[in-house]
Amino acid sequence: MRYKRVLLKLSGEFLSGNGFGIQPDATKTLAQEVAKAHALGTQLAIVVGGGNLWRGARQGVGMDRATADYIGMLGTIMNALALQDALEFLGVPTRVQTALTIQQVAEPYIRRRALRHLEKGRVVIFGGGTGNPFVTTDTAAALRGLEMNVEAVLMAKNKVDGVYDDDPRKNPQARKYDTLTFHDALVRGLQVMDGTAMTLCQEQGLSIIVFDMFKEGSLEGVIRGEPIGTLVHR
């Protein structure tokens, strides 16, 4: 089964090479993987985080929480623009839409316009999260995925090829799940998405696939329907 329309959730670290800021080589490598997936003909939306530029829980200590979160939203827009630039350099038509209005650099989020972009074969990158503080970009991914009528949310992970019952980087005996229900993931406290995002996906029946983005060709394989990563379903 090949997915016709998906939403890819990326963390900001994919643009930083596991460091800080935006690194051109890391962003180019990421864009190449996205471009290969786009070439399959699948309609592709993206939500990108901003942890490579700002982590409110650490850098925003002592700040008003809403202000710290808005700074983080601006970081996600910076990442969205960097990824757009890298994709368009590869010839992939791309649009950035933001939940915060910055018309000089991106379109404001308009659902019908975003759907039209997808139908025309453009990659749509959503920046600015949901536009609201106290909400993570995981929740933004779930919300935009539902609004875009995608078939699955693809959760890209950093060198972890799915959901495990323990941290596989620390425990070599950790067991990987090939499939998992939302209920089991929530009850066991497994790190798939944040709880709000998972509950939203569970209620609406939107599946999540957790996979290793750093493994070359994995995004293409997931879109082709190959048994890669962990499928989280209702």
Flag whether 129 is marked binding.
no
Q: Is 49 annotated as a binding residue?
A: no
CB-CB neighbours of 70 under 10 Å: 18
Residue 14 assigned as binding residue: no
Q: Known binder of ligand: residue 136?
A: yes
Burial bucket for residue 42 (CB in 10 Å: 0-12, 13-18, 19+): buried
Q: Is 135 annotated as a binding residue?
A: yes
- Provide the residue count of the chain: 234
d(CA 112, CA 6): 16
Is the CB of residue 7 less than 8 Å from the CB of residue 150?
yes
Do the annotations mark residue 55 as ligand-binding?
Answer: yes
Is 133 one of the annotated binding-site residues?
yes
Q: Is 49 helix (H, G, I), strand (E, B) or coil?
A: coil
Strand-pair category, 230-233 with 207-212? antiparallel
User: By C-alpha distance, which of 49, 50, 52, 47 is closest to 17?
Assistant: 52
DSSP state of 98: E
9 annotated among ligand-binding-site residues? yes
212 labeled binding residue = no
Q: Is 184 annotated as a binding residue?
A: no
User: Any known ligand binding at 50?
Assistant: yes
Measured over the CA atoms of residue 230, residue 90, residue 123 and residue 131, the dihedral's sign is positive
Q: Among candidates 125, 131, 176, which has minimal Cα distance to 12?
A: 125
For residue 79, say whether it is annotated as part of any ligand binding site.
Answer: no
Q: Would the annotation count 34 as a binding residue?
A: no
Is residue 11 part of an annotated ligand binding site? yes
Q: Is 165 annotated as a binding residue?
A: no
Residues at the annotated binding site? 9-12, 50-51, 55, 69, 130-137, 158, 164, 167
- Binding site feature residues for ATP: 9-12, 51, 55, 158, 164, 167
Q: Which residues are annotated as a binding site for UMP?
A: 50, 69, 130-137
